[in-house]
């Protein structure tokens, strides 16, 4: 598009509200967070002193922080693994001719569309210790009584399972969309070469899916790592902090212990971990955003 010099002011005028809001709502808070992490500000009084790196030093020695970091990796790794397994699996199955395929597809998407609070309410009812349907089925058919959310490690296993249920449709959707774009000629060529079903999958389908799988893994890893709502509403981090991840620790430090400085330090530390994932995503997929 050829530009006329006098248009420059219009382009700047149109983008300026966005830039202003970005500055106020993202850049300034990020800087503020970083500054807070070097202070001892109290959440209510908003008073505090500069304490240097004391917050970071005490975090590294804090067993709560270390366990939150480990829980964060266990939660992210666990739920991501099963999301990929079910998401890719169901996408491959539904790529075949299945009865009522459109209905099956829409039904599979539902968990992803539900608000997290609804997911939490439904699962807490299903797992209710007295009248939950799943609790009943487990005890009547399986003969075991499980305290789904009140025990270690049951609580972590339960939230990983619910996270899988809620988020695998994202993987399913992305992989399904990619599968539909694989040219049929590739399969015909492979068939002519005498390739069986298994070899058609490994030599044709899988190489075509590698890109989308890598992108989805990174994107979901980023989102799962920062998940707050599901974990907080499901367990509140309990029992005995066994499901407390970094976002929950940040929230509790800031609004439970009223220690903004400590919370900000934990948040910045968490962001540092996430930056690794984010830069991987940027290197691979951010570039094509520039081709505008």
Partner 1 sequence: MSVAASSALKRSGSRLVLNVVCWTAVLGTSFPLFWMISTSLKPDNELFLRPPTLLPLKPTLEHYVRLLSDTPFPSYFRNSLVVATATTLIVLLVATFGAYSLTRFRYPGRRLFARFTLFTYLLPSVVLVLPLYLTLAWFHLANSLLGLVITHVSFGLPFALWLLRSYMVTIPADLDAAARIDGASRLGSFIDVIVPQALPGLISTSLFIFIASWNEYLYALVLISRDDIKTLPIGMITMLTSSFDVEWSQLMAGSVMMTVPLIIAFTFLQRQMTQGLGVGVKG
The minimum distance between CB 152 and partner 1, in angstroms, equals 23
Segment 79 to 98, residues that bind partner 1, using CB under 8 A: 86, 90, 93-94, 96-98
Q: Scanning residues 245 to 274, which ones bind partner 1 (CB under 8 A)?
A: 246-247, 250-251, 254-255, 260, 263-264, 267-268, 270-271, 274
In angstroms, the Cα distances linking 205 to 80, 187, 191, 290 are: 22, 9, 13, 28
Q: CA 278, 215, 157, 122 torsion: positive or negative?
A: positive
How far is residue 77's CA from residue 143's CA, in Å, rounded to a whole number? 30
Binding of partner 1 by 49 (CB under 8 A): no
CB 124 within 8 A of CB 234: yes
| CA 34/CA 24 separation, integer angstroms | 15
Confirm or reject binding of residue 21 to partner 1 (CB under 8 A). Answer: yes
Q: Is 204 in the site for partner 1 (CB under 8 A)?
A: no
Closer residue to partner 1 in complex, CB, 153/286: 286
Residues 54-73 within binding reach of partner 1 (CB under 8 A): none
| Bridge partner residues of 50 (DSSP) | 39
Taking CB under 8 A as the criterion, the residue among 91, 108, 159, 234 binding partner 1 is 108
**Closest distance between partner 1 and the C-beta of residue 25, in Å?**
4
The position carrying tokens 């974990």 is: 231
Find the binder of partner 1 among 53, 70, 133, 152 (CB under 8 A).
133
């Amino acid at each position: 598009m050829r530009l006329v010099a006098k248009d420059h002011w219009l382009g700047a005028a149109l983008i300026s509200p966005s830039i202003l809001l970005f500055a106020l709502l993202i850049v300034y808070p990020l800087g503020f967070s970083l500054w807070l992490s070097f202070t001892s500000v109290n959440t209510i009084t908003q008073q505090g002193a500069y304490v240097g790196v004391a917050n970071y030093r005490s975090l590294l020695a804090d067993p709560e922080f270390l366990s939150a970091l480990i829980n964060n990796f266990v939660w992210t790794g666990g739920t991501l693994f099963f999301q990929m397994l079910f998401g890719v699996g169901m996408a491959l199955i539904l790529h075949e001719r299945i009865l009522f395929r459109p209905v099956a597809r829409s039904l599979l998407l539902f968990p992803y569309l539900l608000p997290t609070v609804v997911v939490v309410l439904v699962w807490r009812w299903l797992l209710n210790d007295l009248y939950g349907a799943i609790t009943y089925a487990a005890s009547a058919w399986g003969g075991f009584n499980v305290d789904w959310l009140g025990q270690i490690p049951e609580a972590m296993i339960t939230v990983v399972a619910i996270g899988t249920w809620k988020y695998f449709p994202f993987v399913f959707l992305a992989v399904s969309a990619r599968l539909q774009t694989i040219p049929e000629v590739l399969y015909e060529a492979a068939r002519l070469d005498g390739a069986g079903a298994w070899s058609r999958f490994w030599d044709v389908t899988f190489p075509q899916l590698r890109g989308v799988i890598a992108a989805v893994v990174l994107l979901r890893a980023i989102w799962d790592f920062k998940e707050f709502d599901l974990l907080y509403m499901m367990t509140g981090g309990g029992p005995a902090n066994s499901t407390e991840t970094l976002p929950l620790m940040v929230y509790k430090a800031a609004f439970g212990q009223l220690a903004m400085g400590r919370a900000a330090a934990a948040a910045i530390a968490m962001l540092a971990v996430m930056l690794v994932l984010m830069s991987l995503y940027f290197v691979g997929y951010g570039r094509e955003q520039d081709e505008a």
